[in-house]
A and B are shown apart, each in its own frame.
Chain A
Amino acid sequence: MATAAGVFTNTVFGFIRASIMFAAIGTAGGELGGYTMLHAATYVWLGQALLAPIEAFGTREVSQRVHQGDIAVDLLRPTSFLGLYYSQKLGRAGFLILGRGVPPLAVGALVTGLALPEDPLSYLLGALSLLLAITVAFLADMMVNLAAFWLVETRGLTVVYTATMNLLSGFLIPIVWFPDWLLAIARATPFPSMIQTPIDTLSGRVPPGEALGLLGVQLGWTALLGLAAWAMLRAGTRSLEVQGG
Chain B
Amino acid sequence: MRPATEAELAEAVAGASGPLLVRGGGTRTLGHAVGEVLETGGLSGVELYEPGALTLVVRAGTPVTEVERVLATERQRLAFEVPDLCGLRGRKGVSTIGGVVAANASGPRRVQVGAARDALLGVRFVDGAGIVIKNGGRVMKNVTGYDLAKLMAGSRGTLGVLSEVSFKVQALPEVEATLVVEGLGDEAGLKALRRALGSPFDISGAARHSGRSLIRVEGMAGSVAYRTGRLRALVGGDVTVKESAASAALWREVRDVVPFRGRPGEVWRIITLPTAAAEIVAQLEAEAIWDWGGGLIWLLTDHGRGAEVAAAVAGRGHATLVRGEGGPVFPPSTPDVAALVAGLKARFDPRGILNAGLVI
Q: Do A and B come from one complex?
A: no
Interface residues of A (CB under 8 A from B): none
